[in-house]
Amino acid sequence: MRIFKSINKLNKEVNFKANIGFVPTMGALHNGHISLIKSSKSKCNKTLVSIFINPSQFNKKKDYKSYPRNIKKDIAILKKLKVDYLLIPKNKDIYLNKKSMKIKIYQKDKVLCAKFRKGHFEGVLAVIKQFLLHIKAKYIFLGKKDYQQIHLIKKYVIKKYSTKIISCNTIRLNNSLPCSSRNFLLSKKDIKKASSVSLMLKNFHNTIRKKMSNKKKINDLSKKIKSLKIKIEYLEIRNKINFTRKFTKSNFKIFISFYINGVRLIDNF
């Protein structure tokens, strides 16, 4: 595996005319990342992984500082997976100025995480734009755990570049809680509690599929989750295509954001 700390050097030494898959990460690699990498390896001749904890997508400095980091472990995982290239850029290598650190989004798109994490997706879109400007990969692999993120990247960024998005299924712990770097901040007890939320969400999704009128029971689900001493940021049912509240049995999705001991988690079914 070749490790690059400069995008310029990466571009000079890597032939992006070849079939290359790109997996952008913020490190603290887990089975979800591993699944994305394996998808890239199966579809592409070469795979590039980036590790960059993007400061512009954090709306709280404390959250940025506490984000899990373990670069030695990450490199060991990537070598074992036989990844071809690893990019570990610095902030100045990504952003030339403060203006390039944010991309404005429309007010109508400020729902769910975009509403409650002010500036978050503006920062996500900015870093993806910078990557796609300089990294001419054929495909970029993203996980459906961050479903709203993929939706906004497609809407604001990806259509301007030749790179195509490959959306990969959410990888879960014991078929419940989605894999996340933030899970490393949780105790075993907290993991169990968070997993129960995912299972409740899954069951509620199934009851709506059986009978649409069951969607009215979302307040009951909210009370059940709160009874576990979990703080809910949002719990909503939306159209998975356009994120409006107008949905049918075939296009609805349930979205949740909640806190356990100060750690923010998201899920969708």
Per-residue model confidence as pLDDT tens digits over 178-188: 999 999 999 99
Q: Using DSSP, state whether 42 is helix, strand or coil.
A: helix
In this prediction, residue 137 has a pLDDT band, given cuts at 50, 70 and 90, of: very high
pLDDT at res. 164: 97
What average pLDDT does the segment 127-148 reach? 97
Pairwise CA distance, residues 81 & 73, whole Å: 13
What average pLDDT does the segment 114-143 reach? 97
What average pLDDT does the segment 172-176 reach? 91
pLDDT over 90 (residue 161)? yes
pLDDT over 90 (residue 175)? no
What average pLDDT does the segment 173-197 reach? 96
CA distances from 179 to 60, 140, 146, 248, 250 (A): 22, 19, 11, 28, 26
In this prediction, residue 145 has a pLDDT band, given cuts at 50, 70 and 90, of: very high
pLDDT over 90 (residue 84)? yes
What average pLDDT does the segment 109-128 reach? 97
What average pLDDT does the segment 17-34 reach? 97
pLDDT at res. 59: 86
Left, alpha or beta for 241 (phi > 0: left; psi -120 to 50: alpha)?
A: alpha
pLDDT at res. 267: 98
Query: In this prediction, what percent of the chain has a pLDDT beyond 90?
Result: 96
Catalytic residue among 30, 33, 120, 151: 33
Where exactly are the structural domains of the chain?
A: 2-170, 173-268
| Angle between helical axes of 188-210 and 218-226 (0-180°, round to 10) | 170
Q: Using DSSP, state whether 223 is helix, strand or coil.
A: helix
CATH of domain 173-268: 3.30.1300.10
Query: Has 134 been annotated as catalytic?
Result: no
Q: Which string of DSSP letters, residue by residue, matches 92-135?
A: HHH-SSGGGG-----GGG--THHHHSTTHHHHHHHHHHHHHHH-
Pairwise CA distance, residues 229 & 233, whole Å: 13
Neighbours of 205 (CB within 10 A): 16
pLDDT at res. 60: 87
Task: Round the average pLDDT of the chain to a whole number and report it.
Answer: 96
What is the helix (H) or strand (E) element at residue 194, kind and residue range? helix 188-210
Of the candidate CATH numbers 3.50.50.60, 3.40.50.620, 3.90.600.10, 3.90.550.10, the domain formed by 2-170 belongs to 3.40.50.620
